[in-house]
Structure 1
Amino acid sequence: MDAAAILRPLVDAALGTDLPLRVECWDGSSMGSPDADVVVRFASRRALRRLAWAPNELGFARAYVSGDVEIDGDLLDALTRLEALADPERGPGVRVGPDTTAAVVKAVLRLGALGPPPRPPAEEIRLSGRRHARGRDAKAVSHHYDVGNDFYALVLGPSMVYSCAYFEQEPSPDYTLQDAQCAKLDLVAHKLGLAPGMRLLDVGCGWGSFVIQAARRYGVTAVGVTLSEEQAAFARAAVASHGLADRVEIRVQDYRDVPDGSYDAIASIGMAEHVGLSQLDEYAAHLHTLLSPGGRLLNHAISRRPGPPGDPKGDKTSFIDRYVFPDGELHPLATVVDVLESAGFEVRDVESLREHYVDTLRAWVANLEQNWDQAVRLSSAGRARVWRLYMAGSALGFRSNRLGINQVLAVKPGPGGDSGFPRTRTGLLAPAGRPER
C-alpha cells in the first residue's frame, strides 16, 4: 500500500475528509484534489518522525525548515486553509482524540518512521542565561538581525525598513512598498513634531533609515542605537553616503545604557517587542528620563490580544521563539499604555496599522520568493524557509486580528502640565519642519 493510503486515516481523523489542498508523499502517491492550488509535500519519512516527536507547531516548523515538508503555491493561502481546518468555528477542527492517536501510531509503524528524534535544523536556537539580561538580549538580537545585510536588502527592498509600512494608497506598481515605508517614516516624524534644531533618539534604529530621513528632511540631529554590529556598520555607511556624519551618530549600545539626555523626541519603532514584561517598567522609565520636558515618545510595536501572558520562560513549542525572535514578548495595547502613563508620560494618540502590516508582509514575502535562489546563497535554504514561514504566518495573524500593531504617541509634560500639542489631530499630523523633497 502506498504512503498516501496509509496516511489517509490519520488525515481524516485529524482534519476531516474534505481537504482543500493536495498532499503528496515521498513515494509519489497523493491525496486531495489533483487541481488544488496548494500542495503540501512530505519529502521523506523523517517528516513523520519529526511530527511524532513534536506533534505541534514546533514539529511542523522543524519539518518545513529542514525541507522534510515542502509547500508549493501561495504560502499565506496554504496557511489560511490549514487554519480553517484547525478552527472548529470555520472548519471541522483538529481532533486529537483516541482515534487520532491510534492513527498516528499505526501510520508511523506501517511506514517505518520509528526512530529517535531527528536533530533540529541548524537555524533553531535556544539561549542560556537570565532572560533579558544584557548579554542574552544581545545574542537574541544578533540571531535575528545578523543574518546579513544583503539578505535583508532582498527582503525589505531599498527602504531597508523592517517594520510596518503605511500604505496611503492600495499597493500597486505605481504605489510600492518603498513609497509606503517613506510615508511611515514621515508619519512618525510628523507625530514627533520634528523640526530643525531638535535632538532625536532612535531606539533600535535598524539600518538607519529613520534617523537619516529625520536629519535630511526635518533638520534634526540624531542618535541611533542598535545591538546589531551588522546593522550599525550598514547604517554608518548610509549616514556617510548622505553627508550626514556630522548630524547623525550610530551606536552599538543597549538602550538601558544611553546616558546622554536630554532629547526632544524619541522614536522606538519595532523595538519594544524585544523588551520583556519584566523590563517594561524600566524601559518606559528610562526613556522618560532621557526626554526633556515637552518631549515626545513614539512607541511603534506589535501587540497581542488581551489575556494572561504566556510562559515567561518562553513557549517550548513556539516556532517564533526558537527560530525568529528568541525571548520576544508581545504585550496587549492596554499594558503598554498603562506602563507609559505610570512612568509619567501622558498618552496623546493611539493609531492601529494592523491592515497595513498585512500588505507589508505580503510585499516582503513576494520579494523573498522573487529572489529565492539569491536569498539561499546569501544565507541557507533553512534560513530562507524560516523567513518565508514566519512572514506568511504573521500576515495571517494580523489579518485575523490575533496580532495588532499600534503607534502610541506620548509626551513628557512640561511645567504646569503643558503638552505643547496642537488642538486637533489634523494639526498633529501636519509637518512641523520644512521637509526637503
Structure 2
Amino acid sequence: MFKNMMMLLISLTVTLGAGEAMLRAFTPFPIGTQTHRSIDEKYGYRLDRALGDVDKDGFRDPPGADHGFRVAAIGDSMTYGNNVDSAHSWPAAFAAKTGERTYNFGVGSYGIYTYHAIVRDALAAGAKGDIVAIFPGNDFAVVFSACDIMNARSDFWLAEQKRLHLQALFAGAEGHSQCAKARSASLKTKLFENVAILSAYHYEIRDRLASLYAQLFKPGDDEASEYYTFADGCPSVLKRYVDDAGHMADLASPETAAMFGDFQRFAADWAEQGKGRVGILLIPSKERVIFEHLRRHDQLASAAPGFIRSVERQIALEDKIRETAAGLGLPYRSALAETADSLQDAILAGKRFYPDSDGHPFEAGYNAFATTAQLLWGEMTARATEAAD
C-alpha cells in the first residue's frame, strides 16, 4: 500500500511538473506583475526575470531588443499584454503592422510618473518616437509604481519636482492611503502569479465557470451580485473593478486632480521634445468599451446606475486628456472605436473578447489597440516630417 501511494505521489508530481513546464513554454502563464518586481528608484520597479519572457532590463522583450529600437511603447499591463503571449501584445502587433522596431516598456501598474521617466530615457537613447498608452482607469491614482517613486525620492525625481513644479507625490505624501494597500500581495495572489497551473486555472477554468454562472443566474443590478451583467452576449464585469476605476479616475478627488495636474506638466515637457516625437494612445477600460457598445445600441438605459456613474467619471477624464493633448499639439488617438468594433465582432461570432473576472482583453483587443497605435504613428511621423522640412 505504501509503495503504491509513493508511486502515485511521484506520478502526480511528475505530471504536475510537466504541465507547469509546458504552460510556461507555450502559454503566457503565469500571468501577473504584482509579485515579480525589483525596485527601481526612477521607474518604481521593473520586472523580475523569474516571470519569464523578460529581458535583462526588466521588460517583456526578446534579448537584444533594447539596441536600436525606433519606437518606445510605454504603458501598464495593457501594454505588457496580460492574457496573451508577448507576440500578441499591442507593441508586438504594432511592430508587425508597421515594420518599426519597437520596444515594449509596458509593466503592470505603471502610471504617469513612470511614463514620464521612460519618455525621457527612451528619447535620450535614440528612439524616433514614444507612444504613451494612457489607461484612465488607474494611471492617475497615487498607487503602485507612484508609491515606490514617492518613497525612493531619487535625485532624478527631486530634480524633476523642482524643474516642473510637481505637486502630487512629494507634498503631504503621508496622506496617500492607497500605497500600503497596493503593496500588500496576499498569499493567494503570490501563488496565482508564480505557479502557471494555478494561473491558468484562475484565468481559464475559474473564469469560464464564473461566466457560465453569470449567464445562467443573471442577477441584473441586484446589490448582492458581484458583477454588472448585460444582455445580448455583452460580457459581464466585476463591480469592484468598475467602482475602483471610477474612484481612481474621479477628478473631484484631490489626489487624482493633483496627478492630472502633474500629467499636464509632463505633457508640456513631452511637447517640447519636438513635433511628432511623443504621442498619446488612450487605452479604454473594459467597462468603457461595454459602455460604448451599449450606447451604440441604445441600451444604456438598461445598465445599472452605479455602472453609468463610474464610467462617466472615466469619460470626463478622457475628455481632459484629449483637451490637454490638443492644446499642446501632441498627437492623440483613442482606441475606443476600434476596440468597440472588435467587441461587436466577437459577440456576433460567439467568441470571448474579455475574461469575466479580468479587465484585460484577449488577442483581438490588443490588435485593436495596435491598429489605433498605427494610425497614431502615422500622424506622429507626418508631423515630424513637416517639422523637418
**TM band (smaller chain):** under 0.3
Question: Which has the higher Rg, Structure 1 or Structure 2?
Answer: 1
Q: Which has the higher helix share?
A: 2
Q: What TM-score comes out, normalization by structure 2 length?
A: 0.27
Which has the higher relative contact order, 1 or 2, with Cα contacts under 8 A spaced 6 or more apart? 2
Q: Which has the higher strand share?
A: 1
Q: What TM-score comes out, normalization by structure 1 length?
A: 0.25
